[in-house]
Structure 1
């Protein structure tokens, strides 16, 4: 049995409005506990669960303040963000079996772990651990309803909701937009457009149901996205993904088998016409093989053991 501490600057377990990193840390901690390890989490807000014990951390903090909170039996530490570079450097020196998981950019200091090859390359690293999700949370359906899905933070222009709306209008297939509102796109405000259906922020059972019934998930990103949890969530649900070929998309999607990689709006339109060629079962099987919380847990344990032997 290993004793592992996860440190993050956001709520653990996640709250309803939490982003992807909170959920990933929670899934990882739960999986580690299920596999017989003792797990602690440390963050400014949170509480104990049946899988891990929570420790409240006030930020910013000094090295001495942080070290005083770490239980005496902790052997391995995963830093997920929020601690000052000089402070975390002291922690890594005290606990050789420690890694820094980079959910977005790059942490100061050593033992950085990136979430895709693309992410590592951009940040000048080479150690990766793909994200993974708990399989049993997702609903698998082979029969799909007649709608496309956009699921991302709508207000972020780099997510490309405007392109998704244009594409849906051109193919004349309903598009459900989940993830809030965007001032520049009136269709995301209220449910008035015959094709575009905004549903705001969704989570839990509502999200799982919506993903599982969609013909396809549209991901017209305008940036080098380092991973993309919704891509994995979609494939686990048997829903193919049509994405612009940027960031880690080519690492997550097998073009022509679990979805389509496109370079522009016209290619996305053509891909939608071919969506029935994609096998929902093949999407799910592929996601289970590479992107589950169990796979993520296995990789993190390997890297913790590696860090204890030699830092990078």
Structure 2
């Protein structure tokens, strides 16, 4: 199948450090290429991919000091995609809504994955006006505010099975990974660690617009909390070590996060997650297996006392069964093929899921202990 993937231009694909959407686009693109599909990636020029790369800008916009407005770059990107649309069987957009007005004049089907939170006052009218645009949600909870939109499927994110290293021995610190913003709950993570009497390591990015919050709320907490170490952004091997060597990951969000990629990254390492019951958390987590879903700081403190009862192998195994990149690609391919074939009826969740063979056994690849993995039956190229 000839597939175009259209990524945001904010970060390169994959991002060097923080950047969830661009990271997912990379995993999906590389898996589709691996399965034999002809893939073109529209992304920033500093992206790295085994697909054909069409640069929408010279380098990631958030890395360009002279970039004041990102919208013009994305409008230009849409025109670049439209100019090449005749080359593809399907175009998969990951750039929110900027392309909606041109979808009707493209010569091939499209699908759009929405990666952000929905706010009906802003988006409901758009979805009604552009009701012909097929949409994919990244969790069932994400679509809850606007259930009447043209949802085709829910496809949970997935990671390459060998991306993270399984570690069967728990570490001695708690981990927090994400942005420094009120909805991510770093202040609550600091309080949970204080109550539990455990050190907390924080790997976080501070966006310019969130620096006032950091300086007003978080920086004083850090000065008053000697048990907290702020390590800044991490990526690659450093993130693998950071998550894999933790006792548990804290995910005390205070917003309805549509997915939360860090949860499955932690599971891939075998590290349990203590997560607040918001947004997609109950969909992604298996309570009592991959960690604990809790309501507040007090419950999080109590749950940390039960972390030693969890199996890190079972945590890794759940990741393998549910959140591999091959499963994600298979779910998307089911959507692609239906749309290319002229179908318009949404498919049921779980249709086309990858088959996971039993038993699951630990293996090593390039000297890295991966934990339980299995043969994944992947669809062939089309």
Quote the offset at 1:189 in angstroms: 5.9
Write the distance in 2 (CA, Å) between the matches of 1:307 and 1:189.
Answer: 51
Matches within 5 A, 1:150-299: 150-154=176-180, 156-180=181-205, 182-183=214-215, 184-186=217-219, 193-299=225-331
Check conservation: 1:188, 1:198, Cα contact below 8 A.
no
Write the distance in 2 (CA, Å) between the matches of 1:20 and 1:193.
Answer: 29
Write the distance in 1 (CA, Å) between the matches of 2:80 and 2:169.
Answer: 54
Is 2:110 the partner of 1:87? no
Partner of 1:23: 23
Partner of 2:4: 5
SS in 1 for 2:321: helix
Quote the offset at 1:42 in angstroms: 1.1
Is 2:116 the partner of 1:104? yes
Query: Which range is displaced more, 58-67 or 217-226?
Result: 58-67
Change (3 A) 1:188 1:153: farther
Partner of 2:343: 310
Check conservation: 2:7, 2:43, Cα contact below 8 A.
yes
Quote the offset at 1:87 in angstroms: 2.0
Pick one of 170, 180, 192 that aligns with 1:144: 170
Partner of 2:353: none
Check conservation: 1:63, 1:90, Cα contact below 8 A.
no
Pick one of 61, 75, 80 that aligns with 1:60: 75
SS in 1 for 2:170: coil
Unaligned runs of 5+ in 2: 57-72, 119-125, 207-213, 346-382
Write the distance in 2 (CA, Å) between the matches of 1:257 and 1:15.
Answer: 30
Change (3 A) 1:65 1:203: closer
Change (3 A) 1:161 1:33: same
Quote the offset at 1:256 in angstroms: 1.2
Partner of 1:73: 87
SS in 2 for 1:23: helix
Write the distance in 2 (CA, Å) between the matches of 1:65 and 1:228.
Answer: 31
Write the distance in 2 (CA, Å) between the matches of 1:152 and 1:65.
Answer: 32
Check conservation: 1:4, 1:37, Cα contact below 8 A.
yes
Check conservation: 2:184, 2:252, Cα contact below 8 A.
yes
TM-score normalized by the length of structure 1:
0.91
Quote the offset at 1:122 in angstroms: 2.5
Alignment RMSD (CA, Å): 2.1
Per-residue CA shift, 1:181-208, capped at 9, x if unaligned? 5221126767x84311110011110000
Aligned residues: 304
Check conservation: 1:220, 1:243, Cα contact below 8 A.
yes
SS in 2 for 1:239: coil
Change (3 A) 1:245 1:48: closer
Per-residue CA shift, 1:8-61, capped at 9, x if unaligned? 232452342451000100110000000011110113544563x20111335323
Change (3 A) 1:298 1:66: closer
